[in-house]
A and B are shown apart, each in its own frame.
Chain A
């Protein structure tokens, strides 16, 4: 089966510019996650969707970050305006619907490496 797809793979922008990332989860996976991985650290959850509804966005900096999953399939994560500290790898992951309830693993995409200059 095809894995989690993300684009672009790399992006370089200047601070105060905006940027958007795209994710297409594994077919049939209702739960979608966006993580931020800063160099030298483990991934940190930004937002979790169940179909097109938000389950957890407690760590999303809502003044500058937004995410949507309008049709319950693919998703976009946007940063506007970007700051230097947003430089990181943004990982998308997916899992089966309700999989967290029984400890089903998440499947990760290759990530988008964002550099803010």
Chain B
């Protein structure tokens, strides 16, 4: 069965410091991987995705993520955190191939708190 794990319920970082939000996945075959962000009382907002190719993908608001196939991980990173980055972050995976319906399997979410 497909699954996504975000091992940290909350990540705290000081403004200006680098941040990492961790994600590991379990899916047969090659996955599509996504990061979404959710601000209070708002829907999920797409940040970035890995489809194929370069393992380092860049997305919105200065975020990037590194796909590591051997470790089945897709960690979200940013070199310098902003207070406005404080939000709830979700990692998601979908299967590729003929059985793929686009269904996203989400992790449980990680709250990022950036302090001034």
Contact = CB atoms under 8 A, between A and B. Distances in A.
Interface of A: 4, 31, 33, 40-45, 48, 55-56, 91, 93, 95, 99-103, 105-111
A41 B108 contact: yes
B101 A41 contact: no
B38 to A, nearest CB: 9
Interface string B73-92: 00000000000000000101
A44 B3 CA distance: 12
B12 interface: no
B100 A42 contact: no
Contacts of A91: 43-44
B27 interface: no
Interface size on B, as a range, is 20 to 34
Interface of B: 4, 32, 34, 36, 41-46, 49, 51, 90, 92, 94, 96, 100-104, 106-109
Nearest to A42: B106
Binding site of A, secondary structure by majority: helix, strand, loop or mixed? mixed
Contacts of B102: 31, 33, 48, 55, 95, 99-101, 106
B101 A42 contact: no
A48 B103 contact: yes
A106 B51 contact: no
Given A42-B92, A100-B94, A103-B51, A55 B109 contact: no
Contact of A42 (B46, B51, B90): B90
A105 B34 contact: yes
A8 B104 CA distance: 24
20 contacts: A4-B43, A31-B102, A42-B92, A42-B106, A42-B107, A43-B44, A44-B106, A55-B101, A56-B101, A91-B44, A95-B102, A99-B102, A103-B32, A103-B51, A103-B96, A105-B34, A107-B46, A108-B36, A110-B41, A111-B42
Nearest to A45: B103
Contacts of B32: 103
B45 A108 contact: yes
A33 B100 CA distance: 15
Contacts of B49: 103, 105
